Structure 1
């Protein structure tokens, strides 16, 4: 466990997520998710966590492990076609993880998701958080549209509203 990481997480706590993603940006992200889901039958959730605290931080939990916890907690795996996708941003580490349910993950694979994550992180590195998230949603949507086209009867199974933790 790095003392630098602990300090970064303690001082870039939850207030930073709300500053980087104010209400107006969250509304635009929600609209992007809703519009993207019209092009496929998958489900997308976006979660931003300012920093880890308590047990996850002191256990040195990494973004991938935390994203798996969030994926499970939000029940993203509980979709009819196993095509839910979580885009998770751990802001203190500027690390993006995409966790996809088995139906879509089997078609895209780790390398496909990794490419999207790195592109988003590149945008974040230049301070373009909103653009990075919306571009990431578009890239995930393109993958979902290829493998799970809209079927006209597929309900919106998960909320489109971003989660700020």
Structure 2
């Protein structure tokens, strides 16, 4: 019985949270994040996507899927895995569960410790709990950018002219 109540509560929370997505990310903030992603990507060969979802789709809720499962699925659907140097990063927020996930491609997995990514998630979480979405996303974007610049800098022959393989605008679902 408790399991059914928990499932129903989660379902309602996810449906209710869909409306909060637009309040958390104003059009001005979305535009600002897209500019920051574009500026970051001129400094390295990696690709960064930000995806924010109010609540999980019913099919995910029904089977009890986690935010991590959804982030991994979106990593593929948004083609973050399909970059030339295997150095794409997805920053995923699931508002209904207050969940943050960062998914990185195998090129980064060989060079950046998992603990570094977890530290970034922890810092984002502190900002989000205080209602400072812009600050949390900006800080995470700066940290991801620093790792990409360190491990995948733009080649000297093409400064500021790295190819842009993926859209820069945040994805809101």
TM category (shorter chain) comes to: over 0.9
Task: Provide Cα deviations, 1:22-71, integer angstroms capped at 9, x if missing partner.
Answer: 11110011111111112211110000001113111111111110000000
Partner Cα separation in structure 1 for residue 13 and residue 150 of structure 2: 39
> Is the partner of 2:110 in helix, strand or coil?
helix
Partner Cα separation in structure 2 for residue 36 and residue 140 of structure 1: 9
Q: Provide the residue aligned with 2:69 in structure 1.
A: 65
Task: Provide Cα deviations, 1:140-159, integer angstroms capped at 9, x if missing partner.
Answer: 00111110011126311111
Moved more, 34-43 or 124-133: 34-43
Q: How far has the Cα of 1:106 moved from its partner? A: 1.6
Partner Cα separation in structure 2 for residue 157 and residue 34 of structure 1: 11
Q: Could you tell me which of 122, 127, 130 is aligned with 2:126?
A: 122
Q: Provide the residue aligned with 1:132 in structure 2.
A: 136
Q: Provide the residue aligned with 1:79 in structure 2.
A: 83
Does residue 104 (structure 1) correspond to residue 108 (structure 2)? The answer is yes
Q: Provide the residue aligned with 1:55 in structure 2.
A: 59
Q: How far has the Cα of 1:138 moved from its partner? A: 0.4
Q: How far has the Cα of 1:131 moved from its partner? A: 1.1
Partner Cα separation in structure 2 for residue 120 and residue 104 of structure 1: 20
| Cα RMSD (Å) | 1.2
Task: Provide Cα deviations, 1:116-158, integer angstroms capped at 9, x if missing partner.
Answer: 1111011000000011111110000011111001112631111
Partner Cα separation in structure 2 for residue 127 and residue 69 of structure 1: 27
Structure 1 unaligned blocks of 5 or more: none
The TM-score, its normalising length taken from structure 2, stands at: 0.90
Partner Cα separation in structure 2 for residue 148 and residue 33 of structure 1: 15
Q: Could you tell me which of 10, 17, 20 is aligned with 1:12?
A: 17
Equivalent pairs counted in the alignment come to 164
Partner Cα separation in structure 2 for residue 154 and residue 22 of structure 1: 29
Q: Provide the residue aligned with 1:148 in structure 2.
A: 152
| Bigger Rg over Cα | 2
The TM-score, its normalising length taken from structure 1, stands at: 0.94
Task: Provide Cα deviations, 1:50-107, integer angstroms capped at 9, x if missing partner.
Answer: 1113111111111110000000001111111000000000011111101011001221
> Is the partner of 1:156 in helix, strand or coil?
coil
